[in-house]
Amino acid sequence: LQTTVLFLCPQDLYTAPDSCQGRCEEPYNEEDECHCNAECERHHSCCEDYYTYCSPERFSSSHDAIMDQDLLHISEQLYKADHNKAQPTDIAINPQRQVSPDETGDREDHSPEPLYRYVNEKLFSKPTYASFIKLLDNYQRATGREEDVTAEELKEQDNFLREVMKTELMKKLFTFLHKKNRYDSEQEFVADLKQMWFGLYSRGNGEQDSSGFEHVFSGEVKKGKVSGFHNWIRFYLLEKQGLVDYFSHSYNGPWNTYPDVLGMQFSWDGFYKEVGSAFIGSSPEFEFGLYSLCFIARPGRACHLSLGGHSLSIQTYTWTKSTYGNGRNYIATAYVVSS
């Protein structure tokens, strides 16, 4: 008898846990890092290469698919609907020294003056701003320390969601996602926003110490470095208190009005942030809405948008170590990138 020996490459024997190669329509398993069946888009749990390996032609051309062109169109709509954004006379910034990408880790303060020369704080009395600011002091910034969420803080979360959902911007976002069959009702949408943004998970020591909102908007400190912290209002308020020291910027967006985009280096109580990208002058609902859109439409991938005719991308990542509901993912992070 002649024996035939088959030599298989490692990739023939092993499927990466974060890939859909060979896993299309695989039944849901909560232990999987990400998923590859048709429901993963609805649950924001698709692997990054889901569209490469699994998205069938019938779906990619169907009414429910969120195409790249759809994202460009809806982002322009949201941009135009940001009625609460800062006007040119509301903010004056002083970016000072721009550093090259290979200088961002130097930890040198190249800018002796604060970033913000002036902010019209009347902006902060607008309902979405006021409800947003109340959330910022609800967190312990150190990872590994459990968050103690009070009844008052839960009310503040609900109030923020209620206020942003009154805006034209968030109503347009819901209408878009409803037409794409992501949510059946506004109530379902708001409930999911609350979980994906405010639901707690563990970044360290097994404690319920973090959430997407805390990480992205308030900022955290992990292993001696600033983690997250991508919000201009938070930055301004802490800089005004002398708790944030602006060092430099490595990117300045192409806008000559607001929202602008800045990639910053700074120190927060002695903890360093190498690149903290942020919109400048946008309303809370604008950032919240754009990040939510990209997390829902392109979880774990660059999400290409258009704002006032300028190209821009948002990067999101899912938290894969725990889920909520029927396998839905929390937001690990979301931030704006330059192109």
pLDDT tens for 34-65 read: 888 888 888 888 888 887 788 654 344 356 88
Indicate if 43 belongs to the active site: no
- How many residues are listed for the chain in this entry? 339
**Active-site residue (options: 230, 240, 304, 321):** 230
Q: What is the pLDDT of residues 201-247, one digit of tens each?
A: 999 878 888 999 999 999 999 999 999 999 999 999 999 999 999 99
Quick one: what percent of the chain has pLDDT higher than 90?
A: 68
pLDDT, residue 146, reads 84
pTM of the complete model: 0.85
Q: Where are the beta strands (DSSP E) in the chain?
A: 91-93, 116-119, 220-222, 225-227, 244-252, 260-268, 271-280, 302-307, 310-324, 328-337
Q: How confident is the model at residue 25 (pLDDT cuts 50, 70, 90)?
A: confident
The H or E element that residue 128 is part of is helix 127-135
Task: Give the residue-averaged pLDDT of 281-305.
Answer: 95
Task: Give the residue-averaged pLDDT of 188-194.
Answer: 97
**Active-site residue (options: 180, 215, 222, 249):** 215
What is the pairing mode between strands 328-337 and 310-324?
antiparallel
**Active-site residue (options: 43, 44, 249, 273):** 273
pLDDT, residue 130, reads 98
Indicate if 63 belongs to the active site: no
Indicate if 230 belongs to the active site: yes
Quick one: what percent of the chain has pLDDT higher than 70?
A: 92
